[in-house]
Structure 1
Amino acid sequence: MNRKTFLTGSLALLAASGVLPAFAGEIPATVQKPVTISYYNYNLASAGNGAEATKRMIAAFEKANPNIKVEGVGASSADITSRIQADVAAGRIPDVVQMVFSDLNFTVDNLGAVALEGTVPEAELKQHFEGITPNGLQLGVINGKTYGLAYTFSTPVLFYNANLFKQAGLDPDNPPKTWAEVKQAALAIVDKTKAEGIATGIFGPSAGDWLFQGVLRSNNGRLMSEDRKQLAFAQPAAVEAVAMLRDLYDSGAYTNLELQAAMEGMASGNVGMYLQTSAIQGFLVKGAEGKFDLRATTMPRFGDKPQRPNNSGSALVILSRDPLKQRAAWELMKFMTSKEAYTVITSEIGYLPLRTDIVDDPKYLGDWVKKYPLIKPNLEQLAILERWESFPGSNYRQIQKIMMEGAEMAVFGGMDPASAMQAAQDNAQPLMPK
């Protein structure tokens, strides 16, 4: 029995036992009696600002909604889906979850995600959507329905140390725009300073494949065919992107650092450039404060080809089948995607504000953006944002793992890029749905 069949059977048994009651139609207008909802959130499992800011937002929500108590459940972004899957199978249905975008299709197909259309009154849904950037809203849409409300996400940002640029004879006001320029700048930093040239968050156990997807797409590579049946990451454009990373590494410009070591290296001033999610912005700002001039620019492009950044991050998804808990979950989702919440999410954690009208508003982010302009490259890339794709079927994470291991062997392991990516594609294709 495969995983999807097992979960479908588990859900059916839960429904038959009354744990997962059938429900169709709009939720109640208000929460008029005390109710407790579970909130699975990966920021609660993080160190530093992510967890603390999320706890404060939950407390503020409970204060504003005295009939609703929120039980926060922390799980890392790499583990949250398997945790939810296990709890669903055991009959402990989470009420609202922070779902990694690459897992959203699986959540809809296997875990009973609730479409907001037909559940939340149409006028109320439309009213809340007003002001949220359309590119962000579309990230949670599958088959024409909104299953996930975009919550925390970013685009790939190239952080850089302006002091190291000056020491290396580079112009910090004119940061690299292409990968060729990144290589040149990184080698200058390595040659003229004691720092590493560039590190990235592309590889590593907790990296996923979101950054890698953006690199491949920017060279017109792709993960799979348009009909989502045939893998395509061994095609020439994708291999060429991998070969570029291999050349960066072979030249000494690119340092293979584990995620935490790369973050700490950038924050301490020992790395010249770092391509990563803006969610680490708060950590980097704190490390750089009073020590060096931390700046940021957009992700590099391949020659004259345009950047094609995709999102990282998460959406809020309702799994509860109970109408009252669905209303409570929706109230929490509205609160967590409000102007007030995005002010906290952006200024204290580093994610994008999906309500871009707060960026220039002094009541919200206006003054903060003037003080910390690092968010601007992220905002620029919203206009060209593309979806973080997930592979189809229940084997999606295994396919992703095989692809990333192939790329890692090509970049750091000495394998020929074309051979490594072809071997990975050949091994992964049988795992695709028939």
Structure 2
Amino acid sequence: MKLHRPAAITAILASLLVAACGTSSDGRGGGSGSQTTLQIWDFSAEQVNFHKDIGAQFTKEHPNIKIEWRSITQADYMKTLPLAFQSNQAPDMFYWNATGLSQLLDQKWISPLSPSGTVPADFTKRWPEGSFLEGINVQDGKTYGFPFSENLYWGSGYMFLNKQVFQQAGLDVNNPPKTWTDLKNTCAQIKAKTKAECIAAPTKGPDMQRIWYAMISSVSTDEFFDYKTGKFDLTEPGQVKTFSFIQELKKAGYLAPGTNDKNFSRQQFAADQAGIFFDGTWLPSVWASQGFTSDKYVVAPRLNPDDGQTGAAGRKYDTNKYWVSSQTKNPDAMWTFIQWMTDPNGYFVKQYYKNAFGTLAYVDNQKMVTDPALKQIMQIGGQPGYRVQLPVPLLKCPDIAKSKAYVNALAKTPDAEWEAMGEALVSGQSLESVGAAIVKQRQTALEEGLKQEAASGLKVSMDCYTFPDWDYTKDYTKDMYKD
């Protein structure tokens, strides 16, 4: 389902709200029963049956609480959730990773995890030390979030190879392309010997991140901001070079034609109509839900430029994705569910891994993962230098927790980088010329915002965002932050 008009988005919101009404004792549904209903929203369509099972089991263990877990398409979700908050009809808990703690608090969207605002030590000890940080998921001593996905294996930047297409092309799927030139040679053979496309690469809006992250992560940083230089970097040499290579692939006919979204491209690969697809840790569960099992493809590392790896994918502390809504009327019941959901040996965790949905931050992944594709992903992601810890301005300058300058700089046309890439890919223009305006806009907003905040008393500056001693291929460790 793809609905993009405002009226259609409103209709989605209305259907979610009507469906959620019923037996709630919080006044939302008008029922007189004693059972509290918790509404949870996300956009994980492949997890609908899993969430139904989770809700049923939780209610079996907690008969006075019912879970209504709703999923819609990601594009619609990003429009529907803000409308729900504007109309004071938001769910009790929601999934959100587009912005962090500071902006969510500023928007008045979130409440602390527990009714008291603090969480006990037996809760936080489920995570590795350092998982709860002021400004990341803690503000003024109150805990608002918890790391959901771990940050070593979880993420984008993996290459998936279709066994049937590779076999038809006379290629060894266990000897994947390793460099940009290898990829071009592989594509030439697939195009010459099969009816399949070489790369099913979605290029519609933010979906372009699939191929982009698989290329740029070996060149510099997979962020649109370079913490080494303190600059928004879309038009920097490494980014321009990488995008030019993607344009090369398109010109040679190695990218599937059309401006396709991720769902179309995933289905294209699963239907043996493409040999290669780039995506992330979550993909095995998406394909499994469509009947495309892990014995039909292999997972390989991302590609390096011909002159070798000079960058790596970034690891972040901020993998907090589920938040308690500021509009919940059931904070005690919500806290009960969160504790149950994050039990490392509990039902949620066991079923999550049984369905191969990914890797969690509060679980021993080496012990729990059984899916062959996820095991391949863990082997790849666990290699030194495949993912590196990014510098964190907050750890250098604690007042960044109170700063809105960076958030405001990103808020100006949020998808502008992807839009610039899409325009350049279609027109053939250089990324440097198409992206210059957005880089200037973001950089000016950040620098001016920091200056204004510094004048008001915050200890912030561009120095907080600049780490000239960082090597793109190595972790920026805690001992590297200077007092």
Q: TM-score range by the shorter chain?
A: 0.7 to 0.9
Residue 352 of structure 1 corresponds to: 359
> Kindly, what percent of the aligned residue pairs are identical?
18
Shift of 1:405: 1.1
Residue 435 of structure 2 corresponds to: 421
Residue 329 of structure 1 corresponds to: 334
Residue 170 of structure 2 corresponds to: 169
Counterpart of 1:149 in 2: which secondary structure?
coil
Residue 78 of structure 1 corresponds to: 75
Counterpart of 1:100 in 2: which secondary structure?
coil
Counterpart of 1:78 in 2: which secondary structure?
helix
Say if 2:126 and 2:362, in contact at 8 Å, map to a contact too. Answer: no
Correspondence list, 1:133-212, <5 A: 141-142=136-137, 147-151=144-148, 154-156=154-156, 157-201=158-202, 203-205=203-205, 207=207, 209=209, 212=212
With 303-312 and 409-418 compared, the bigger mean Cα shift is at 303-312
1:255-296 Cα shifts (integer Å, max 9, x gaps): 244322211111111110100133232343454459x73111
| Counterpart Cα distance in 2 of 1:338 and 1:224 | 35
With 220-229 and 248-257 compared, the bigger mean Cα shift is at 220-229
Residue 321 of structure 2 corresponds to: 315
1:362-404 Cα shifts (integer Å, max 9, x gaps): xxx4xx43xx344422464267265799993357355332111
Alignment CA distance shift 1:358-1:429 (3 Å): closer
Alignment CA distance shift 1:195-1:274 (3 Å): same
The answer for unaligned runs of 5 or more in structure 1 is: 1-32
Shift of 1:191: 1.6
1:27-47 Cα shifts (integer Å, max 9, x gaps): xxxxxx85332212222xx2x
Residue 108 of structure 1 corresponds to: 105
| One-letter amino acid matched to 2:406 | P
Correspondence list, 1:26-425, <5 A: 34-43=35-44, 46=45, 49-102=46-99, 105-116=102-113, 119-129=117-127, 141-142=136-137, 147-151=144-148, 154-156=154-156, 157-201=158-202, 203-205=203-205, 207=207, 209=209, 212=212, 215-221=215-221, 222-224=223-225, 226=227, 231-256=232-257, 257-285=260-288, 286-289=290-293, 293-302=296-305, 303-308=308-313, 315-320=321-326, 325-339=330-344, 340-348=347-355, 350-361=357-368, 365=369, 368-369=370-371, 372-378=372-378, 380-381=380-381, 384=387, 392-393=406-407, 396=410, 398-425=412-439
Counterpart of 1:97 in 2: which secondary structure?
strand
| Counterpart Cα distance in 1 of 2:210 and 2:147 | 16
Shift of 1:115: 4.6
1:330-371 Cα shifts (integer Å, max 9, x gaps): 33223333443234334436322435525435xxx4xx43xx
| Counterpart Cα distance in 2 of 1:391 and 1:281 | 37
Shift of 1:421: 2.2
With 107-116 and 57-66 compared, the bigger mean Cα shift is at 107-116
TM-score (norm 1): 0.74
Say if 2:38 and 2:68, in contact at 8 Å, map to a contact too. Answer: yes
The answer for unaligned runs of 5 or more in structure 2 is: 1-33, 393-403, 450-483
Shift of 1:195: 1.0
| Counterpart Cα distance in 2 of 1:141 and 1:259 | 30
| Counterpart Cα distance in 2 of 1:402 and 1:388 | 24
| One-letter amino acid matched to 2:331 | Q
With 171-180 and 111-120 compared, the bigger mean Cα shift is at 111-120
| One-letter amino acid matched to 1:377 | I
**More helix by percentage:** 1
Shift of 1:316: 0.9
1:116-152 Cα shifts (integer Å, max 9, x gaps): 597243323223336xxx7987899357775332335
1:56-105 Cα shifts (integer Å, max 9, x gaps): 11221222222222233434333434433333333334321111254655
CA RMSD of aligned residues (A): 3.9
| Counterpart Cα distance in 1 of 2:333 and 2:321 | 17
